């Protein structure tokens, strides 16, 4: 099994989505890969960032855990989204930890779209495990953890305990730490107005929290979930799709491979079928 997650090209012909208007629930920097793939197909891209990342600073818990990791206390560092990778990289830099001095025995697992590239860019570490399927059950099984394995799991304060629970069920010792908290995003394009005017054809969600804060921001800015009734709602994987349904959204697209390119292909196929 190849556990390396890489950005791959889509399978659709260039410019096949000419005129299709896609709203992305991140800012342009966070959504670079997604933007490039959609633009290669000729789609028009609009940004509606739904999440703002705020460090979760409580008794220096994360900083102390990262120092322990650099000292060899852990066998695995598991990063379950790109935002966690960014926050961990920021704290490593702030605390003066040299990534080159982190013991080789510490393996890194990156879960979720963009997480592997963020880990390389902001932390300077390569992933030993980067699955294309993100469910907690699959990740815990595929990592092949056992009794005595020590795992550091920094994550959002809003993250459900599912992954930590599944990892602990393997017998591993799991230290789960709140690394950051999320707030409603701001800026971007006037997507609520565009939805109202029928100028958006598809909207994409790449992790569950994006769904939650999208709904909050949309309603705060005078929009309603009914505005999405006639557009393609795309979710990268089952956890994100489940969150969308929990919030009353219909899900039209969820790719078999939970990757950016897989989602872009699936959105493209859906939109072409509707033409």
**Beta strands 51-55 and 173-184: pairing type?**
antiparallel
- pLDDT for 259: 82
Pairwise CA distance, residues 254 & 237, whole Å: 6
Inform me whether the pLDDT recorded for 60 exceeds 90: no
- pLDDT for 10: 66
What is the token pair recorded at 122?
Answer: 């902001």
Q: DSSP assignment of 202-261, as one string?
A: EEEE-SHHHHHHHHHHHHHTT--GGGGTTSEEEESSHHHHHHHHHTT----B--SS-SHH
pLDDT tens digits, 159-169? 778 999 999 99
Average pLDDT taken over every residue of the chain: 90
- pLDDT for 58: 66
- Continuous segment of H or E residues that includes residue 160: none
pLDDT tens digits, 215-226? 999 999 999 999
DSSP for residue 150: E
Residue 207: alpha-carbon gap to chain centroid: 5
- pLDDT for 6: 34
Q: Rounded to the nearest 5°, which phi and psi values hold at 212?
A: -55, -50
Pairwise CA distance, residues 194 & 48, whole Å: 11
pLDDT tens digits, 127-177? 999 987 878 999 999 999 999 999 999 998 877 789 999 999 999 999 999
Residue 151: alpha-carbon gap to chain centroid: 20
Q: Does domain 21-50+185-274 have CATH number 3.40.50.10090?
A: yes
CB 62 within 8 A of CB 96: no
What is the token pair recorded at 120?
Answer: 């390389």
Q: pLDDT confidence of 237, banded at 50, 70, 90?
A: confident
Pairwise CA distance, residues 83 & 106, whole Å: 20
The count of C-alpha atoms lying within 13 angstroms of the C-alpha of 270, restricted to the half-sphere facing its C-beta, is 23
Q: Percent of the chain having pLDDT more than 90?
A: 66
Residues 6+ apart with CB under 8 A from 257: 132, 133
Domains in the chain: boundaries: 21-50+185-274, 54-182
Inform me whether the pLDDT recorded for 202 exceeds 50: yes
Give the Cα-Cα-Cα angle 85, 101, 181 (nearest 5 degrees).
20
Pairwise CA distance, residues 206 & 182, whole Å: 15
CA-closest candidate to residue 221, choices 191, 179, 199? 191
Mean pLDDT along residues 246-265: 92
Packing angle of the helix pair 82-94, 61-70 (nearest 10 deg): 80
116 versus 152: the higher-pLDDT residue is 152
Mean pLDDT along residues 73-86: 92
Mean pLDDT along residues 171-195: 94
Architecture of domain 54-182: 3-Layer(aba) Sandwich (3.40)
Inform me whether the pLDDT recorded for 3 exceeds 60: no
pLDDT tens digits, 37-56? 999 999 999 999 998 888 77
- pLDDT for 116: 87
Mean pLDDT along residues 249-269: 92
Are 21-50+185-274 and 54-182 the same fold in CATH? Answer: yes
Pairwise CA distance, residues 34 & 220, whole Å: 26
């Amino acid at each position: 099994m190849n556990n390396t997650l890489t950005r791959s090209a889509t399978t659709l012909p260039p410019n096949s989505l000419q005129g299709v208007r896609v709203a992305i629930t991140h800012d342009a920097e966070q959504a670079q890969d997604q933007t490039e793939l959609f633009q290669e197909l000729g789609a028009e891209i609009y940004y509606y960032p739904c999440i703002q990342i705020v460090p979760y600073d409580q008794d220096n818990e994360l900083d102390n855990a990262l120092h322990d990791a650099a000292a060899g206390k852990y066998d695995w560092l598991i990063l379950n989204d790109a935002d966690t990778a960014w926050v961990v990289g920021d704290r490593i830099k702030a605390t003066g930890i040299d990534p080159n001095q982190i013991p080789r025995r510490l393996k890194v697992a990156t879960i979720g779209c963009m997480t592997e590239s963020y880990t390389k860019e902001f932390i300077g570490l390569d992933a030993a495990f980067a699955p294309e399927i993100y469910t907690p059950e699959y990740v815990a099984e595929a990592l092949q953890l056992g009794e005595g394995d020590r795992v550091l799991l920094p994550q959002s304060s809003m993250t459900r305990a599912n992954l930590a629970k599944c990892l602990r069920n393997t017998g591993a010792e799991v230290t789960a730490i709140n690394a950051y908290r999320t707030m409603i995003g701001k800026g971007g394009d006037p997507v609520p107005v565009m939805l109202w005017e029928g100028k958006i054809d598809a909207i994409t969600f790449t992790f569950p929290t994006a769904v939650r804060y999208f709904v909050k921001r949309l309603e705060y800015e005078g929009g309603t979930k009914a505005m999405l009734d006639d557009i393609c709602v795309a979710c990268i994987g089952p956890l994100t799709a489940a969150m969308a349904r929990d919030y009353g959204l219909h899900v039209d697209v969820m790719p078999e491979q939970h990757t950016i390119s897989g989602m872009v292909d699936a959105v493209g196929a859906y939109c072409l079928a509707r033409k």
